[in-house]
Every structure is written in C-alpha cells, then in structure tokens.
Amino acid sequence: MWEYTDKVRDHFMNPRNVGEIPDADGIGEVGSLACGDALKLFFKLGPDKKIADAKFKTFGCASAVASSSALTEMIKGLTLEEAEKITNDDIADYLGGLPKEKMHCSVMGREALEAAIANYRGLPIPMAQGEVVCECFGVTDQEIRRAIVENKLKTVEEITNYTKAGGGCGRCHEQLEEILREQRHEIREEPVAETGKRLTNIQKIKMIEDVFEREIRPALRKDGGDIELVDLDGDFVTVALRGACGTCKKSRLTLKEYVEKKLREQVLDSLIVEEER
Amino acid sequence: MVGTPRVVYMDNNATTRVDPEVVAAMLPYFSDLYGNPSSMHTFGGQVGRKIAAAREQVAALIGAESEEIIFTSCGTESDSTAILSALQAYPEKRHIVTTRVEHPAVKHLCEHLDRLTGHKHRVTRLPVDRDGLLDLNQYEAALSDDTAVVSVMWANNETGVIFPVEEMARIAKSRGILFHTDAVQAVGKIPINMADSAIDFLSISGHKLHAPKGVGALYVRKRVPFAPMVVGGHQEQGRRGGTENVCSIIGLGQACELAQARMEDENGRVRQLRDRLEEGLLSKIPNAIRNGHREQRLPNTTNISFEFIEGESILLHLDQYGICASSGSACTSGSLEPSHVLRAMGVPYTAAHGSVRLSLSVFNTEEEVDFVLDKMPGIIAKLREMSPFWQSSHKGAVGGANCPCE
C-alpha cells in the first residue's frame, strides 16, 4: 500500500475542477491509455490575462488524480508567465509530498501545463521536441535531462521514478546512464547545496583507498583482477581496472554495480565512478 | 449507512483469515506445551506426536502418504526447494519448462537459476491464450532430452485459471522428466489426489487456506530423488533442517482438515457467490470484461477489467467502504507495467490497467456480495467521469472497443 499524505487522499477522493472547458484558450494532453496514466488540462484566461478557470480529466492512480487536481488549484489566478514557473516539485510540495515512485505523476502535471500554454501560443510542445529515449513510455531525452537537472537525480532508478523512462523493457538503461553522465558533468560545477559532511579531496581519496583496500581489492583479486585510483575531480572518481578485470567484458558492470555502489555507501553518495580511457 | 460491515474481505488469494478453530488448535503449543519435538523426554515427545498428526492431516487433504510431506516456512520455500532439488537430481540436464504466468516465487527463481546453480540454464516459458489457457501440443513440443524439470502452477493466483497439471505431469513422466506444481492457490479449494497422480513435487502455503503465515509444505513423491535446500539438523528426516515451527505446523494440519470438510461448501456456495458477484458486475457495468476462462477456474476467484480507468483508483475507493480487493494495474504492482499474467493473456493495456481481482472464501456472505454489487457501479462511473478516454471518444453508456459509435 502506498503511503499517501492526507492532502493527496483528499484531492483524490474529492478532486477539484474535474471536467472540460468547451471554449478553452489552451488545452494540453499528455500520457496515454497504454502508459497507465494520462491527463487532459484545460484553461480559460480572463480579461486581465490571468487564468480564470482550469479543469482537468485524468486517467491514472490516486497520485495522478491528486496532482492534476492540485495543479488546477495552483494555476488559477496566475498569469501564463507565472504559471510557467511551476515545477513538478511545486506540485508535489502542494500535496505534502508524493512517494518517490510516484513523482512522475507530478511531472505529468507540469508537462500538461506546458503543453496547454504552448497550445494557447500556437507553439509546438517543448518536451516533444527531443529524441525518444524510452520507447515503452515515449519519454524524450529533453524530459529526462530536465528531470535530472531540476531534481538533482543521481541514478537510473530515480530517472524512472520521475519520468517513467526505463520502467518497461529496460533496453534504454545504458542510454539513460549516458545521459546521466553528461548532465552530471554539466552541473558538476555547482556547489553542494546540502550542509552534510563536506569532504576535502584528500579526505575523499583516503576514504576511497580505504574501501578499495578493505573490500574491493580482495573481491577483485579472487577473480584475478585489481583496481587502481587514477584521479579524483569533485565527485568524479577515475579508476583503472587491472589484471583479469582489464580485459573482462563485464568490467563496466563491475564498476557501476559494485565499485560505485560501495563508494556511495561508504564515502559519499554523489560519487561517480568512471574508467580511465 | 446502517449495517455497513467494517471489512468486506475479498482478497483471499492474497491471504486468508486464520480460522478460529485453527487458532484454538495452536494455542496450547505456545506456552504450555512448548517442548522441542526432537527431545527425548515425554514433554517434547508429545509435541512430536502432534506434528506427526498434522502431517497426516495435510497428507489426507491431497491424497498423499504422510512421509511424502515436508514442512517448510512458506510456499516460496517449497517452490525453490523442489526446483533446485530437481536440477540437482539431473545435473547434466540444463533445461526447464514453465509458463509465462507463474507467481514470482517460480518466475523470479527461474530468472536467477544461473546465479544460484552456477550453471547456464535454458528456460522455456509457455505462452497462454486470451482465456489464460495453455496449448498442450506446444507443451509437448517444448520438452526435450535436456529438460530436467517442468514447473507449472495448478491454479493462477490472479485469474484463478486452472491448468491441466495432471495430464501435463503424465506427459513429463513418460519422457523421464520431473514435474513440480505450485499448488498454493489450488490446495483446499479443489479436490486433489496425489495417489492417482504423476506429479513429483507440489507446493502448499498455509496462509492461503486459513492457516497462519510463515508455514508451508512440500509434497515429494516417494522414491523421487530429493536434495534438501535448508541443511541442518535431522528434522523432517533430514530433508529440511531447522527446529519445527510447531504451532504453525499444527495450525496447518488443522486447516487442511477443515478445508477437506468444507470442500463442498467451497465448490457449491462459494462458487455461487462468486458467480453472483461476477455476473452482477458484468451486467451492471458497461465495458467490463472477465479475465480468464469461465469454467476452468477456481470457484472463488473473479478477475474483471473495467476499461478506461486505473486499478489503484478503484481499490482506494473500495477501501473507503472497507472492501478489500487487489488489482493487476501498474500502479499497484510497484512497477510501471501492468500484471505479467494479464499481459501474457494479451489483455489490452487499456483493460489491464483497470483490472480488479475479487477472491472469496467460505467466510464471505451473500450480504457482502450484494454490498459490493451496490457500491462498485458508482465507483466505476465516478472514475470514468474523470477519465479523458471515456466520454471524449464515447457518448453514452456503451463506449469502448465494442461501441457501435465508431
């Protein structure tokens, strides 16, 4: 059973603004029956160019209905410029939070709003411009990149929670890893926002070496392999695999599934392990 | 509303109420008769005799001999033990035949066999048709000299569809292949007689038949090679180590005896209740589709898809009335895809997302069925009112794929 907040339950059991606006100024449609959730959003502008009325129709689970209901309440009275600034996080916050696996419901709300505004302005839908990465759920690279940046996503699993990409057949997982790496490179300059423990590079190197020595090397040596720390740049840990690991086809998997996981658990959960090229 | 029941429990394929008679049988063995059945003293020995009696009770329900019953911790342990044991019996054979609609206990085990055994295995997953049935010609064609074991569920947990495991086991036997069936949904609901059967391994779960959670049993046919999975003491004649879960084993024995006595009620009254519920829902609600073959099915289960709406939403509305059910929708599965069983049957996504399973037991009443029949149409209508796929494409009450308006 999902842990929904009282606000989610309330907006699900008593959804606000269900219906259609026959002479709507903007209509946005996202999702599909096959995907398991879909939202059709309508808005009508008043003489003051503010959103005078908003209505929705949603097919989906409780959090999809609640996100839609919340969205319509949030945008009423706003200008389009103000409404545009609403992020999926704002929708989730309005509802007192959503289970992490359900964050894609808030993303769907935000995308329907964007689609409706684009529809009003006669522009193409921004998120549909990208290239489809996840074919199961029709998610484009643009949607994925934005979700990574805005929500500071660190793993493929988080991408799936926020966008559904990668939640079907799983064939796009490698591509998602690639996008994740690219985006994380771009935002690497940003200072770490949370206060937690801030480690100096020397501290990090020492801790990484410790984990290597204590856990990772003994395991790799059993299979005739070894690992060396080559460089550390912010969160990026460059390593070289030696011995049997150097020629093993599964070495990439070892790096991501094993080495990176261990380092994230024991040193810093934002570390990204890469192989020396 | 006056007389509204607090909980209308129609999720008996998920788990069942422990029968009060079962509880009563178990109670003395918690703090009065707490001896270890393996002990040499009379105080422990009397517990050992009670376990022997429970083994007789379980064996009687499925027409087996008591030494063919091994107590385990759950249905999943029974499944793993049987399949891994069969693979060890034929270490040179690397092929296993199963179906696309197995419970995760078998499905995920088969996906992880290579890691567990250290050998590469080939797994054939037999498809099912729109009614959820297997094609026996396809089954025979899938068997090969390399096949070590066949594992096919007796009855499906989501749809209740029954597979012809008896016939399939005979075919396997004629080819020298071991046969396992996950019968956790079938035992206690339909008659089973292992004396006339070719099945080698059969899994039982306590909590599906009014015994407690955390106890199960594995039937292993006499003279079938067996390798234990839980290795330890000499309990269960060395076939499953670990001190016995005494109270629960006694409970399971009692529950099996009760199930035997209630078999007629289950297949008579419960079946009628299920039919009344199903026919009522299908006739009152447009665009409702039964999933699973109408006749070849457990007497207690109905699985219905309500098109154009999503299952989790239906469950939460039912929950407001205390009605407990489950769904094959993506949102309830914890994944983003709807149930693998409904997908294997080719149920369109439009319907799979809106599927609801109601599973009854001997504790359900006609009033409860009428209560659900009273509440469900309003819930479905309310959610459809909100769905962008309902009125936009279909005016009026017909709608859906069969709508003449298209």
Q: Give the orientation angle of helix A173-186 with respect to helix A141-151, to 10 degrees.
A: 50
DSSP letter (8 states) at residue A214:
I
The answer to whether residues A118 and A134 belong to one domain is no
Residues 6 or more apart whose CB falls under 8 angstroms from that of B108 comprise: none
Q: ipTM more than 0.85?
A: no
User: What pTM, to 2 d.p., does this model score?
Assistant: 0.81
Angstrom distance (rounded) from CA B403 to CA A194: 56
Q: Per the domain annotation, does A151 fall within a domain?
A: yes
A28 & A110 share domain: yes
| Residue B368 confidence (pLDDT) | 97
β-bridge partners, B210: none
Q: Do B310 and A36 touch (CB under 8 A)?
A: yes
> Quick one: A40 and A146 in the same domain?
no
Q: CB–CB of A138/A32 below 8 Å?
A: yes
**The B122-126 sheet, strands edge to edge:** B69-72, B216-220, B201-205, B178-182, B147-151, B95-99, B122-126
Lowest-confidence range among A125-129, B98-102, B275-279?
A125-129
Note whether A28 and A101 are same-domain residues: yes
Cα–Cα dist B55/B77, whole Å: 18
In a domain, A110, yes or no: yes
Do the chains contact at A33 and B308, CB–CB below 8 Å?
Answer: yes
Q: Can you give the CATH number for the domain in which A16 is found?
A: 3.90.1010.10
Q: So what's the pLDDT on residue B191?
A: 97
pLDDT band at B384 (very low <50, low <70, confident <90, very high): very high
CA distance A42 to A24: 6
Structure-model confidence comparison of residues A150 and B272, the more confident one: B272
C-alpha distances out from residue B165 to A47, A126, B126, B316, Å? 71, 54, 13, 36
User: Is A142 found in the same domain as A84?
Assistant: no
Per-residue pLDDT in tens (0 to 9) along chain A, 277 residues = 678 999 999 999 999 999 999 999 999 999 887 778 899 999 999 999 999 999 999 999 899 999 999 999 999 999 999 999 999 999 999 999 999 888 888 999 999 999 999 999 998 877 777 888 888 888 888 889 888 988 888 888 899 888 888 888 888 888 899 898 888 877 665 554 444 557 788 888 888 988 888 888 888 888 788 888 888 888 888 888 887 766 666 777 778 778 888 888 888 888 888 888 7
B310: nearest CB among A61, A160, A164: A61
- E-strand ranges in A68-182 read 132-134, 139-140
Q: Does B90 touch chain A (CB under 8 A)?
A: no
**Mean pLDDT for the stretch of residues B398-402:** 41
Same domain? For A268 and A207 the reply is: yes
Q: Which of A39, A57, A65 sits opposite B313 (nearest CB)?
A: A65
pLDDT of residue B395: 46
Asked if residue A263 and residue A236 are part of one domain, the reply reads yes
Q: Note the pLDDT tens digit of each residue in B60-78.
A: 999 999 999 999 999 999 9
Same domain, A240 and A208: yes
Long-range contacts of B164-168 (CB under 8 A, 24+ apart): B164/B134, B164/B136, B165/B199, B166/B197, B166/B198, B166/B199, B167/B136, B168/B134, B168/B136, B168/B139
> The domain that contains A161 carries what CATH number?
1.10.10.1100
> For residues B109 and B115, what is the distance between their CA atoms, to the nearest angstrom?
10
Residue A192 lies in a domain: no
pLDDT (0 to 100) of residue A73: 96
Q: How confident is the model at residue B258, as a pLDDT?
A: 98
Contact B90, B117 (CB under 8 A): no
The bridge status of strand B122-126 relative to strand B95-99 is parallel
Domain-located, residue A194? no
- What are A27's strand-pairing partners? A42
Provide the number of structural domains found in chain A.
Answer: 3
Of residues B229, B220, B187, the one with CA closest to residue B204: B187
Return the SS3 of B173. helix
Q: What is the mean pLDDT of residues B26-42?
A: 96
Choosing among A33, A104, A158, A163, which should be mutated to test the B contact, i.e. which has the most B CBs within 10 A?
A33
In DSSP terms, B98 is beta-bridged to: B125
- Report percent pLDDT > 70 for chain B: 94
Last residue of a domain, one of A125, A153, A175: A125
Residues A82 and A176 in one domain: no
Q: Which residue has the higher pLDDT, B370 or B338?
A: B370
Question: The CATH number of the domain where A208 resides is what?
Answer: 3.30.300.130
pLDDT at B249 over 60: yes
Residues A58 and A150 in one domain: no
Residue A191 lies in a domain: no
| B281/B290 Cα distance (integer angstroms) | 10
CB B158 within 8 A of CB B342: yes
Angstrom distance (rounded) from CA B78 to CA B226: 12
Q: What is the pLDDT of residues B112-168, one digit of tens each?
A: 998 888 888 999 999 999 999 999 999 999 999 999 999 999 999 999 999 999 999
Q: Which residue has the tokens 């509802």?
A: A95
Nearest to A61 among B313, B389, B392 (CB): B313
Does B337 touch chain A if contact means CB atoms closer than 8 Å? yes
A-chain residues within 8 Å CB-CB of B313? 12, 60-62, 65
Last residue of a domain, one of A91, A107, A125: A125
Inform me whether the pLDDT recorded for B367 exceeds 50.
yes
- Report the relative pairing of strands B216-220 and B288-290 from DSSP bridges: unpaired
Q: Please return the burial class of A73, using the count of CB atoms within 10 Å of its CB with bins 0-12, 13-18 and 19+.
A: middle
Q: What is the mean pLDDT of residues B304-309?
A: 94
Same-domain status, A75 and A13: yes
Q: Which phi and psi angles does B357 have, rounded to 5°?
A: -105, 125
Q: Of the candidates A33, A36, A58, which has its C-beta nearest B331's C-beta?
A: A36
Report the pLDDT value the prediction gives residue B405, as an integer from 0 to 100. 44
Q: In this structure, are residues B84 and B227 in contact, taking their beta carbons and an 8 Å threshold? A: yes
What residues of A are annotated to the active site?
35, 105
CB B105 within 8 A of CB B80: yes
| pLDDT score of B402 | 42
B320 touches chain A (CB under 8 A): yes
Give the 3-state secondary structure of residue A196.
coil
Strands B147-151 and B95-99: parallel
Q: Which residue, among A109, A89, A88, A98, has the nearest Cα to A39 in the 3D structure?
A: A109
Domains of chain B: 8-15+263-386 (3.90.1150.10), 20-259 (3.40.640.10)
Q: Determine the distance in angstroms separating the CA of B132 from the nearest CA of chain A, rounded to an integer.
A: 21
Distance CA A92, CA A86 (A): 11
pLDDT of residue B4: 52
Q: Is residue A173 part of a domain?
A: yes
Helix, coil or strand: residue B155: strand
> What separation in angstroms does the CA of B251 have from each of B17, B187, B213, B247, B257?
12, 15, 10, 6, 10
> Where residue B396 falls among pLDDT bands split at 50, 70, 90?
very low
Q: What is the pLDDT of residue A196?
A: 52
Chain A residue closest in CA terms to B332:
A1
Backbone angles phi, psi at A16, to 5 degrees: -90, 145
- Nearest-5° Cα angle at B385, B381 to B388: 130
B242: which 2 tokens? 């670990």
Of A109, A125, A141, the residue at which a domain comes to its end is: A125
Domain boundaries, position A149? 130-186
The residues of B annotated with a catalytic role in the active site are: 331
How many Å lie between the alpha carbon of A57 and the closest alpha carbon of chain B?
5
Same domain, A117 and A145: no
Cβ of B388 within 8 Å of Cβ of A34? The answer is: no
The single residue listed with the structure tokens 């035949």 is B97
